[in-house]
């Protein structure tokens, strides 16, 4: 699927550029994209390093395991393939909590820590595990309580009710999180039977 989307964007993009007679934008766009990607990764070094340090402290202090233990009933139901009280569970909970609070800066490093823990459990080195797919389904559809950025933009353009969209946002994300979980369950069964 990702191969299809990737190839599709490139082939379709170049074809449209050729038909429109502005083929020269393609080279520049490609290099700009690469440049942007490297800049994002470089900017991640700081926050990832910082949060990995804090998370290591939380781990050594037993806080990550404690968190995993508190949420055990829910987490075991959602992630049946991850052992009980595994550090991955704690990291997943931290990532989702921070995501819900709309603190994207801290959410990414915690998510990457969760992925690292899940990868330790994953024997097929370059193929996503069931637990990873479930985690990313939750992460990308994650409930949001405060969409900070867009509230700021609404305020900037003179909204009389900048936070009015908070209610619908919470409801829409809660709904899509549920749908994502169900979809993930169904696809997990389909793919394990299909043997892909």
Applying the rule CB under 8 A, the residues between 156 and 185 that interact with other proteins are 157-169, 171-173, 175-177, 179-180, 183-184
Q: DSSP secondary-structure letter at 83?
A: P
**Structure token digits, residue 153:** 């933009």
In the list 67, 82, 118, 131, the residue contacting other proteins (rule: CB under 8 A) is 118
By the rule CB under 8 A, 131 interacts with other proteins: no
Which residue stretch of 23-31, 73-81, 83-91 sits at the interface with other proteins (rule: CB under 8 A)?
A: 23-31
CA 71/CA 15 separation, integer angstroms: 50
Cβ proximity to other proteins, 76 vs 128, nearer residue: 128
CA 66/CA 70 separation, integer angstroms: 6
In the list 60, 73, 123, 193, the residue contacting other proteins (rule: CB under 8 A) is 60
State the burial class of residue 67 (Cβ atoms within 10 Å of its Cβ: 0-12, 13-18, 19+).
buried
Minimum distance from residue 181 beta carbon to other proteins (Å): 9
Residues 34-53, one symbol each (x = binds other proteins by CB under 8 A, - = not), give x-xxx-xxx-xx--xxx-xx
**Structure token digits, residue 66:** 């404690």
CA 119/CA 65 separation, integer angstroms: 18
């Amino acid at each position: 699927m990702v191969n299809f989307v990737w190839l599709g964007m490139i082939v379709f993009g170049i074809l449209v550029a050729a038909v429109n007679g502005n083929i020269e934008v393609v080279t520049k766009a490609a290099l700009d994209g690469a440049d942007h990607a490297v800049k994002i990764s470089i900017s991640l070094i700081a926050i990832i390093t910082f949060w990995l340090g804090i998370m290591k402290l939380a781990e050594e202090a037993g806080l990550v395991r404690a968190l995993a233990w508190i949420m055990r009933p829910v987490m075991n139901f959602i992630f049946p393939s991850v052992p009980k009280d595994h550090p991955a569970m704690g990291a997943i909970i931290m990532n989702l909590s921070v995501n819900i609070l709309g603190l994207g800066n801290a959410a990414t490093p915690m998510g990457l820590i969760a992925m690292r823990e899940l990868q330790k459990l994953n024997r097929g080195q370059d193929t996503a595990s069931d637990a990873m797919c479930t985690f990313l389904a939750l992460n990308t559809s994650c409930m949001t309580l405060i969409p900070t950025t867009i509230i700021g933009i609404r305020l900037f353009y003179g909204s009389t009710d900048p936070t009015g969209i908070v209610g619908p946002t919470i409801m829409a994300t809660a709904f899509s999180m549920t749908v994502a979980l169900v979809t993930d369950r169904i696809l997990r069964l389909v793919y394990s039977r299909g043997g892909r």
